[in-house]
Amino acid sequence: MKIAKNIAAWISSSPKRYLGYFVPVFKIRCDDTPYHAGTAFGIEHEGKRYMVTAAHVLDRDENNPCDSENELFVGARGSLTQIGKFDISKINVSASSPSARRPLDLVLISPHDVDLSDVFTHFFTDKQFDKSRLRVDLYVAACGFPATKNRANRYARTLSRYPVGYFGRVSTPAKCRRAGFDPRTHFCFDIFLKKVFTGSQKEIKAPKPHGISGGPVFVVHNFRRPMMHMMPKLRGIVVESAPEERAIVCIDLFAVLSQANFVDRVLYFAYGSNMAIERLYERVPSAKFISVAALSGYTLRFHKPSKKDGSGKCDAAFTGNSSDTVLGVLYSINADQLSALDKYEGLGHGYDRKTVPLITCSGEIFQAETYIATNRDPSLRPLDWYKEHVLRGARAIGLPSGYIASIEAVVADFDVDKERRMNELEIYSKNVPS
């Protein structure tokens, strides 16, 4: 019995080890008094430090006429400080179906005018992520700063911090679906207990969580190993409560950062020669294949004049006819390499970059960047090696035989520049990461 009590005490106090990793986030009323808007925590990911919170924490508060979107305040060195200028990285992952899709309620913030080391005492790193398979035998704790415990005095500039933890067992994926969330990117847990991390640390049954949106979620115990003292590890972020399911909804932070890896990345739709990963990788080494995708209302043409060789390059020509479709590849690339791709594609010199809606073969909807020709010459024909790039890409990703046949039917000119032809096609002898 004593051992069991020790285990219970260890579990219930374990999130307290991470105080200083997460902080309350505030907004300001018209009378210049702060009020609690949510919770945020610090992470170090791919060599960069971010403040992480739920995206809706930055939304404009309709009940506060003096609030504006993307306005937030935090405690820095004991004083209320506005983060006035910052970059936002969003995680661009769709849900399991077009009807259920929604943007992830998650942002990674990079301030320009505030040092995050003045906000957080520590930052979560990859070593502190829970990477196990989510099961119903895992016990988790969602931590944050409820609004009722974080009201500031009208004249106070130093804000109180009373963190709490909501404990519960991971729910089944079915419960998460009933709550309207995709289990591939979210998980839910059943609320059992609430603990206030004060001197008394009194446990009470939790009616409904308030104000902890954006707070970290830790895995604190595994019921498969009931007597093990487990070091708590970060797994998710609180985004919503589901009262009808008596559960808290969380984004699976490990899944979206490691599997999707869309932080500081953009989606790019390739429908011409860049369908061949070998060719795109030469230009953008960060390119990762996501899915085959379709762009409706467009048709494939080889009528974009090349500035280099005068031949015809691919264009997704708009028709507005829903029966017309351009097929291609949905890639993700590092955002800082998009400018390099712009240069390779000739942005502003015959191509314009646009955001277009795509549908994948699994029915998911994405918005992605692609290049559309601004100059067109229907009399042009592609060079043979360029057509070969397009065909190799189309065959490699398994496009329908009829679509491939339509590309094969395009008449191409033989390139008399043998050296150029050889240089273009030698990329297919190189190894390219999958």
Report d(CA 50, CA 23) in Å as an integer. Answer: 13
**Does residue 316 contact residue 322 with C-beta atoms inside 8 Å?**
no
DSSP-derived letter for residue 211 is S
140 SS3 class: strand
306 SS3 class: coil
**Does residue 170 contact residue 49 with C-beta atoms inside 8 Å?**
no
State yes or no: is 46 an active-site residue.
no
Q: Which residues of 207-231 are buried (b: 16+ CB within 10 A; e: fewer)?
A: eebebbbbbbbbbbbeeeeeeeebe
Q: How is residue 132 written in tokens? A: 């196990």
417 SS3 class: coil
Cα–Cα distances in Å, from 194 out to 69, 76, 210, 329?
31, 27, 11, 47
Q: How is residue 145 written in tokens? A: 């700063």
Identify the active-site residue in 345, 364, 388, 424.
345
**Does residue 272 contact residue 207 with C-beta atoms inside 8 Å?**
no
Which residue type does 11 have?
I
Of 194, 330, 176, the residue nearest 241 (C-alpha): 176
Report d(CA 114, CA 135) in Å as an integer. Answer: 39
Q: How many CB atoms lie within 10 A of CB 199?
A: 6
Give the angle 51-54-58 at the CA atoms, nearest 5°: 85
Report d(CA 19, CA 331) in Å as an integer. Answer: 39
Length of the chain: 434
Residues forming the active site: 345
